[in-house]
Amino acid sequence: MSTVIEITAIVLRTVPFEERHRVVTALTESHGKISAIARNAVSSRRFGGCLETFAAATWRIVPSKAGDLYRVDEATIRKSFEGLRGDFEVLALASVFNELMLRLAPEREPCLDLFKLHSNALALLEEWAITSRKGSSSVEPRLLIVLLNAYLSKILQWNGTQPQLLRCLACDRSLLDFSATTLLRCHISNAAWTCPDCGPKRSERDRLPKPHSSTGFQHEFFEATQAAIGDFYIGLTTPIRKSPEMAQGTLADQQALFSLMESLLVYHVPGFDRTPLKGLRFLPGIKGIFG
């Protein structure tokens, strides 16, 4: 007799299978990313909204005979996250978060940190969507990018990549020695920065390879303001729900930081490639460098 497993799951993707069934991919609290078949889920109401995208529910599952899929026997809704659908840009960012988990979360391996990150980010987005609907105005684009950057910084941290952000890689000067608008040179392979005094002269810099000009990142870099790097540090050290209210950088700072984040993830995080995140095209002010 198959062992019944009870798990908490957040739905990342659901697709129809054969006419009456659904295959659902979810991020779980104890088993990482899993895929499960829900039989007769298309026409039956017995799962309610538990299998809808973003829904958090308690599942009772058993391994299938084939071994590659679980089977969902029962599900009880815990949080539908239905409020996400009240704001289009918020929904788009939530979809980006789902894409990231589909791409990066380990299969059938515990990843509690990722589960907490994802659920807390969705909860904050839902709060924003509900507030914006009451006020009849969309969420500020800068806040959306701040949250996205904070989410990406947490992924780097989960991967074991801890960028050196407090001091210059070369001379050890503090980040706080510079004004918010000072341009710092951010090195992709080192996940660190150097100050203007330690970087190459402008004539030398112009002869260096441009960012993303080749397939490797060993010698590539970005220039970002001190404010952007400071917000990167906030994202790493602050709970995801607090990052947006603490961030200081402008919209332009956040856009530059996002481009830096993408390159760091490609270089340092296995499974994060140059394939564009589809949801980004619906977000104002965000353009993926690989899209």
pLDDT tens across 91-113, in order?
A: 999 999 999 999 999 999 999 99
**261 within 8 A of 149, measured Cβ to Cβ:** yes
Region of 101 (left: φ > 0; alpha: ψ -120 to 50; beta: rest) is alpha
93 is a domain residue: no
204 is a domain residue: yes
**Listed residue (136, 135, 146, 102) closest to 283, CA to CA:** 146
The CA-atom distances, in angstroms, between 155 and each of 9, 47, 81, 111, 214 are 19, 31, 22, 11, 24
72 is a domain residue: yes
Picking from 82, 102, 126, the residue at the C-terminal end of a domain is 82
240 is a domain residue: yes
**193 within 8 A of 187, measured Cβ to Cβ:** yes
Q: What is the pLDDT of residues 114-160, one digit of tens each?
A: 999 999 999 999 999 999 888 777 889 999 999 999 999 999 999 99
Q: Which domain holds residue 203?
A: 175-282
Q: Based on the structure, what is the number of domains in the chain?
A: 2
Write down the mean pLDDT value for the chain: 88
Picking from 56, 82, 108, the residue at the C-terminal end of a domain is 82
Instruction: Report the pLDDT averaged over residues 224-235.
Output: 97
Angle between helices 141-159 and 112-135 (to 10 degrees): 180
Q: What is the pLDDT of residues 29-65, one digit of tens each?
A: 999 999 999 887 877 677 888 999 999 999 999 987 6
Picking from 82, 104, 135, the residue at the C-terminal end of a domain is 82
- Per-position DSSP letters for 88-134, written without gaps between them: HHHHHHHHHHHHHHHHHSPBTS--HHHHHHHHHHHHHHHHHHHHHHH
Q: What is the CATH number of the domain that holds 19?
A: 2.40.50.140
d(CA 247, CA 249): 6
Q: Where are the beta strands (DSSP E) in the chain?
A: 5-17, 21-28, 32-38, 56-63, 70-79, 183-187, 192-194, 221-225
Joined together, the tokens standing for residue 130 give: 């509900």
Instruction: Report the pLDDT averaged over residues 181-209.
Output: 75
Which residues are CB-neighbours of 234 under 8 A, at least 6 positions away? 150, 243, 246, 247
Q: What are phi and psi of 50, to 5 degrees?
A: -65, -20
